[in-house]
Chains A and B, each alone.
Chain A
């Protein structure tokens, strides 16, 4: 139980394009989903918290207009990186929470 999926697992895009990442809780309903970013050999940094049907709450320093989060249902949240630039290249990981946070497998984004 407590399986979280992410799609796509890897994406390469050109600078200036937008990329959407999906996060789904497959066997449970999550009241809250989280989006993290992880750089090589660094820890997970929380970007935003999203609750179903309401606006996401962003951590300090995270641009709301660049990282758009939609939490359409209790099992689906999406992160859209708008007008991506090379510095947005990173490993993006979502988690879904039901008392404990369960993580997806991550999405590797490379912006050329």
Chain B
């Protein structure tokens, strides 16, 4: 069964304190690994897609990396506005045979000023 596991469940950082979020996946025939940001009461906001091991992508203070079994979201010198739940998702296959996203439970990040 396709599965995505994120750790930690929650993370509290001081402003400027860099850290990493982990996403491990077991998905047959991975087509892509996705990171989204979700604020309370809102839909997920797309951040990155990674397609192959060794690939890295950056956006402002965030950098996503991918290996054959896991992905990391590195946050450098975070600010309070980076506080959100970060979701990791991997592509799987739906009942009908088309691609779907399998989501982890997310990491709730809180950055204190």
Measuring CB to CB, which residues of chain A are less than 8 angstroms from any residue of chain B? 2, 4, 6, 32, 34, 41-46, 49, 51, 57-60, 91, 93, 95, 100-106, 108
Q: State whether A44 touches B44 (Cβ < 8 A).
A: yes
The B contact surface, by secondary structure, is loop
The A contact surface, by secondary structure, is strand
CA–CA, A91 to B43, complex, Å? 9
Q: State whether A100 touches B42 (Cβ < 8 A).
A: no
CA–CA, A102 to B106, complex, Å? 17
- Cβ–Cβ < 8 Å partners of A51 in chain B: 98
User: A105 with B94: in contact, given A43-B87, A44-B87, A100-B49 (CB under 8 Å)?
Assistant: no
Q: State whether B106 touches A43 (Cβ < 8 A).
A: yes
Known: A44-B87, A49-B100. 6 other contacts (CB 8 A): A46-B100, A51-B98, A57-B98, A59-B95, A103-B36, A106-B42
User: A102 with B100: in contact, given A43-B105, A57-B94 (CB under 8 Å)?
Assistant: no
Q: State whether B46 touches A2 (Cβ < 8 A).
A: yes
Q: State whether B46 touches A100 (Cβ < 8 A).
A: yes
